[in-house]
Structure 1
């Protein structure tokens, strides 16, 4: 088990290096100049643009800027916002709780609904309820999350008045209002991921129950419920966890849009304003933080594979 943990930690290092390199490099594909945005259209002469770029270090060679950014990032310094002058780390720290709350809420909904529906269908594979669940999950996966979020707002906030108008309330202020405001966004965000997890769980459960060891256990008189929960469920968790890993990346990407629907002051709104304003340090910092979180979560899931299934551990 320790070898598996060490292997995943070592593998995470090049992943972080590649992600950070891509994040820094992709900024060069954004058209326009940050100096021109700062100066405005009236004062954005070539001479003034060159002066501002020199002050910001934007005129330095690519490798010089890359290694300087690496060195600062390793010390927790993601630079300073070009537009506001605030440290990027502080700006991300202020908005990260809202985004993490939204993603974790969506993930909880996705895991509970996805695993429940997958087991319900997989236990009776090929039966009418299996086909019904399969059709329902296909419908769930086809619904755009932002559209579902708008429908939930119209129905539960505007029409029925059973959900708060202000969705985001920090948990430090009021835990109850935080949970109440998180309910609708979590449902809207987690529906598509639940369908993905459900499909994997259904297939894995059906395959496990059709295995030879299940016939042996049944012949030995082992109760059906014990076979399902004690053996088949455990074997089905590995592909389900793989689907969870894929869902986390999808949830982070979708949450950046969902924040606009429910007015969450998270990283998504900050990213949008920073891209429009050519605020490169903020865009780089947000993309790097999200990439690091996704890598860490997938590393934890890979280690969980070894806990559940010893065959997944390195020899």
Structure 2
């Protein structure tokens, strides 16, 4: 094998001659195409999800007007309240009206507190997004570091240890992890608060101390899956011809792994991370209950228990929108990472 052959084989599949590499405009068009395809799927999903949510709220046997007015209300009072809530109109017409208003930022008002639903969500959503974003960051860091180390040390003690630990963590429910973390870091070694919340305005250190345990509890199974998928993807990529050629050319091992191999082997890990995004947002309900966080999950639970349908519908609509936007972003990242996906556009 000649030196020229080694040089040719050392080039990763994503590399291309400078003249054939896409410019910024082409890359932007490809990202826009991937985002458009994601939105094309997201719109019907949003419609179906909101329709089902609204129907479940409308078909409940509990009469909201009676609940709001109490047992002492007369039938005439209940009828007037039903008209005020719009419950005397057909269910489909109510859904269309609610969806139209929601698209214009009007999610209605709580039946009990009269507070606008959008205002309640705006106050609670930053808490849930902070916990979910913190969990996502922890999952990426822990999963990325240990998945990469396990792939580099294939068959070694570190590889086997990471495999065993991630297999165990992937089966641990979030609330079990939350209770264990509170026991260790708030009771046995009291270095972090067991619950509650402090906004960033109270100080970044204080805010991070309240954020760390909920985010860590929510991130463990995602971090385990990311580590396993990244280890699998990199293990195969590190044996590709262009990686072997790069090493034979004397490129530093860190550059080979982090620049050439990681970009082409991280696709499965990013895909599984995208699958965990809805879990991170949905799992906030349990996490917020355990840690007494005033997030959107706690808001939804309280509203559901009291029968406050507008709050439940508004919270679920915002949650669905966050999940769909996150999924669209993950699709764009996958297109960026996978050369084959880019060529399909």
Contact 2:34 2:332 survives alignment (8 Å): no
What does residue 18 of structure 1 align with? 48
Q: CA deviation at 1:84?
A: 0.9
Correspondence for 1:107 among 127, 136, 145: 136
Distance 1:202 1:50 in 2: 62
The separation in 2 between residues aligned to 1:224 and 1:192, in whole angstroms, is 29
> Deviations for 1:181-223, whole angstroms, at most 9, x for unmatched residues?
1111111111111111111111111111122332333444444
- 1:287 aligns to 2:313 (yes or no): no
In 1: Cα distance, 2:89 partner to 2:124 partner: 31
- Tell me the equivalent position of 2:67: 37
Check 1:28–1:213 CA distance in 2 against 1; reply closer, same or farther (3 A cut): farther
Q: Does structure 2 retain, via aligned residues, the 8 Å contact 1:196–1:247?
A: no
Trace 1:120-199 onto structure 2 (pairs within 5 A).
Answer: 120-199=149-228
Query: How has the CA–CA distance of structure 1 residues 116 and 7 changed in structure 2, closer, same or farther, with 3 Å as cutoff?
Result: closer
Is this contact kept in 2: 1:167–1:182, CA < 8 A? no
| Partners of 2:30 and 2:321 in 1: CA distance | 22
Aligned-pair CA distance for 1:304:
1.7
Conservation of the 8 A alpha-carbon contact between 2:174 and 2:218 = yes
Q: In 2, distance between residues paired with 1:132 and 1:166?
A: 32
**Gapped runs of 5+ residues in structure 1?**
none
Q: Which has the larger radius of gyration?
A: 2
2:60 and 2:202 map into 1 onto residues whose CA distance is: 39
Match status 1:238 vs 2:267? yes
Of the three residues 114, 127, 150, the one matched with 1:98 is 127
In the alignment of these two chains, the number of paired residues is 314
The question of whether the paired residues in 2 share the 8 Å contact of 1:107 and 1:190 is answered with yes
Contact 1:114-1:198 within 8 A present in 2 as well: yes
Specify whether residues 46 and 198 from structure 1 end up closer, same or farther in structure 2 by C-alpha distance, changes over 3 A only: farther
Asked if structure 1 preserves the Cα contact closer than 8 Å seen for 2:150 and 2:159, the reply is yes
Aligned residue among 79, 84, 88 for 2:117: 88
In 2, distance between residues paired with 1:154 and 1:130? Answer: 29
Q: Which residue of structure 2 aligns with residue 8 of structure 1?
A: 35
Structure 1 residue 45 displacement after superposition:
6.8
User: Structure 2 residue aligned with 1:71, among 100, 116, 129?
Assistant: 100
Secondary structure of the 1:119 match is: helix
- Provide TM-score, normalisation by structure 1: 0.91
The reply on whether 1:300 has 2:329 as its aligned counterpart is: yes
Within 2, Cα distance between the matches of 1:29 and 1:145?
32
Deviation at 1:87, TM superposition (A): 0.5
- Equivalent residue for 1:27, pick from 34, 38, 57: 57
The answer on whether the counterparts of 1:33 and 1:278 sit within 8 Å (CA) in structure 2 is: no
CA drift of 1:246 comes to: 1.2
> How far does the alpha carbon of each residue in 1:125-147 deviate from its partner, in whole angstroms, 9 at most, with x for none?
33332222111001111222112
- Tell whether 2:205 aligns with 1:205: no
Separation in 2, partners of 1:184, 1:132: 24
Change (3 A) 1:46 1:137: farther
How far residue 180 of structure 1 moved from its aligned partner, in angstroms, is 1.2
Unpaired runs of 5+ in structure 2?
1-26
Q: TM-score, normalised by structure 2?
A: 0.84
